[in-house]
Structure 1
Amino acid sequence: MDADTQTTVCVLGAGTMGRGIAYACAVAGLPVRLRDVDDQQLAEAESYLDDTLAGGVERDLLTQAEADAARDRVTTTTDLAAAADGVDVAVEAVPEDLELKRSVLSEAEEHVPADAVVASNTSSLPLTSVAAALDDPERAVGLHFFNPVHAMDLVEVVLAEQTSAAVRELAESFVDTLGKTAVTVTDAPGFATSRLGALQGVEAIRMLETGVADPRDVDAGMELGYGHPMGPIELTDVVGLDVRLDILEHLREELGERFKPPALLRRKVRAGKLGKKTGEGFYVWEDGEIVGVADGVGVER
């Protein structure tokens, strides 16, 4: 990867995070190939790109010409070899499963150029273990984007034990190219942001579980009192209750009982009430907007 030339990006996985990363790259002027094994997932990603770019034009964040140019920079495919050919950065954005991430990046390594950066979007899994699946683990790095990617300025650059100094520099430069801000951390359980965010989220859910406050008041307290753009309960619904549970289970195993998932969270996940993506979590959602508080959550007003 040459820092003086335009960077071409391959994003592996066209779900919520993958399509968001592709959007950020395209708006920043970078050619991006979005690859998924599922044609339907790719079709949904294309609709997301169209809608999000149109929204940017409506809010005067982009001109129509800029939006059209960004859309033209994204190609979608199920063909890994075509997606990876000649790229400078390959970023996996598949679900938070260690073996899946290891497998996806190991397969991608067979197709990307020898000097390409190979990155994982994991929010909490041990990056050193992900890197160990590669023939050249020194080129592995974590690029932890935040949801929604188009609106969030932060990217956590995570250094595996094997990450070379050159790859760290390239990763930080890549984040800067996207117009985002990098914070660089070493590979530790939950890194920095997920560990702190998980603790806040788990305590907020415990407050609901014990009837301390309504979810709307918990969220308003953090938004208005601490300047958070989104409260911890709404954020849990947006991220996904199943994702939050998986992160807490991992952190509990690594760091102890302070990360023990609340019973309320487990019940919600068992019931398939996973948040915004299923229409109900701690809130009830319609057309991507909160329309009420779920039954049995919070206190009476």
Structure 2
Amino acid sequence: MKNVTVIGAGTMGNGIAHTFAQSGFKVSLVDRSQESIDQGLGIIAKNLDRMIAKERITEADKEATLSNITSFTDLKEGVSKADLVVEAATENLSLKLQIFGDLDQFAPADCILSTNTSSISITQIAAATQRPDKVIGMHFMNPVPIMKLVEIIRGYSTSDEVTKTIMDLSKKLGKTPTEVNDYPGFVANRILMPMINEAIETLYNGVAGVEEIDTVMKLGMAHPMGPLQLADFIGLDICLSILNVMHGGFKNPKYAPCPLLVNMVMAGKKGVKSGEGFYDYSASRKAEVVSKSFL
């Protein structure tokens, strides 16, 4: 397996492309707009510069990594030689079903199709193709170049051979693959998102403020980042989407998203990506608690 196509040049997509390219794979980075691709490539270059500054890689390593990435705005062209596709588009079921229908048509017959989805059913995505045995979940953690875990999710029809191939491949990337079964939220988000949602409920109910809640979890539970700041980092819209998937999949009220989370996303307050969530990330501030009341 030498040629990897990554669909989506956003936060997860450019991190996945970076990781494969740095490990010597030829990467085709596909996005609908050249602007998104250029932005993604710029982030990869900046992250490589940080690694140079920390003396983890050399300038030659950076150039080799960037030379391994070719960009495309045409999906058919971008997957024509792929041995593996990693889809990292927006966490939206209808979009993913459309992409996988197209991938099934355009990718080589022996190509493995994987998705970086953090909660959506692999079995449902695989049903959009004529190769469900070759469809698998490959859920990287953010930031991808640093985080070691990859959740490997088997759909109902995913073959043993494909699972072993992706487990072995993940190890070649320097990751620790962990196999899980295909249920809403998988393992990481099934545990993480209810915790984040409960932190938001705690704020919503006036038990404590943003900084106080995060301080309790950081100092009391040894979490490197408080749940509200982590939610901002993940993206409040992504948190809401994952909770909705779990709530819809399990029909259990414990997964129902907090009304405050719903309102913030509707208001466009999505966390770091929008410049404001539970904290303010504007140019003059760095993770400063938003002054207005959340109640």
Query: Is the shorter-chain TM-score for this pair beyond 0.5, marking a shared fold?
Result: yes
Retained in 2: the 8 A contact 1:213–1:298?
no
The reply on whether 1:231 has 2:222 as its aligned counterpart is: no
Q: 1:101 & 1:216 partners in 2: Cα distance?
A: 36
Q: How many residues align?
A: 294
Aligned to 2:112: 117
Aligned to 1:21: 16
Aligned to 1:3: none
In the TM superposition, what are the counterparts of 1:199-238 in structure 2 within 5 Å?
199-238=194-233
Q: Secondary structure at the match of 1:14?
A: coil
Retained in 2: the 8 A contact 1:12–1:36?
yes
The reply on whether 1:108 has 2:75 as its aligned counterpart is: no
Q: 1:127 & 1:296 partners in 2: Cα distance?
A: 40
Aligned with 2:149 (options 146, 150, 154): 154
Aligned with 1:30 (options 19, 25, 28): 25
Aligned to 1:270: 266
Q: Deviation of residue 142 (structure 1)?
A: 0.2
Over the aligned positions, Cα root-mean-square deviation in angstroms equals: 1.7
Retained in 2: the 8 A contact 1:96–1:122?
yes
| Identical columns (%) | 36
Question: Which runs of 5 or more structure 2 residues have no equivalent in the other structure?
Answer: none
Aligned to 1:49: 44
Q: 2:116 & 2:285 partners in 1: Cα distance?
A: 26
Question: Which runs of 5 or more structure 1 residues have no equivalent in the other structure?
Answer: 1-5
Q: 1:287 to 1:10 in 2, by over 3 A?
A: farther
The reply on whether 1:296 has 2:292 as its aligned counterpart is: yes
Q: Secondary structure at the match of 2:286?
A: strand
Q: 1:173 & 1:286 partners in 2: Cα distance?
A: 42
State the AA in 2 paired with 1:144.
Answer: H
Q: 2:278 & 2:291 partners in 1: Cα distance?
A: 8
Q: Deviation of residue 189 (structure 1)?
A: 1.3
Q: Return the TM-score normalized by structure 1.
A: 0.93
Q: 1:66 to 1:297 in 2, by over 3 A?
A: farther
Q: Deviation of residue 34 (structure 1)?
A: 0.3
Q: Secondary structure at the match of 2:71?
A: strand
CA deviation vs aligned residue, 1:264-288 (integer Å, no higher than 9, x gap)? 1112111111100110000000359
Q: Return the TM-score normalized by structure 2.
A: 0.94
Q: Deviation of residue 89 (structure 1)?
A: 0.7
Aligned to 2:61: 66
Q: Deviation of residue 291 (structure 1)?
A: 3.6
Q: 1:44 to 1:268 in 2, by over 3 A?
A: same
The reply on whether 1:144 has 2:139 as its aligned counterpart is: yes
Q: Deviation of residue 211 (structure 1)?
A: 2.4
In the TM superposition, what are the counterparts of 1:173-192 in structure 2 within 5 Å?
173-192=168-187
Q: 1:131 & 1:227 partners in 2: Cα distance?
A: 39
Retained in 2: the 8 A contact 1:276–1:288?
no
The reply on whether 1:281 has 2:284 as its aligned counterpart is: no
Q: 1:31 & 1:224 partners in 2: Cα distance?
A: 43
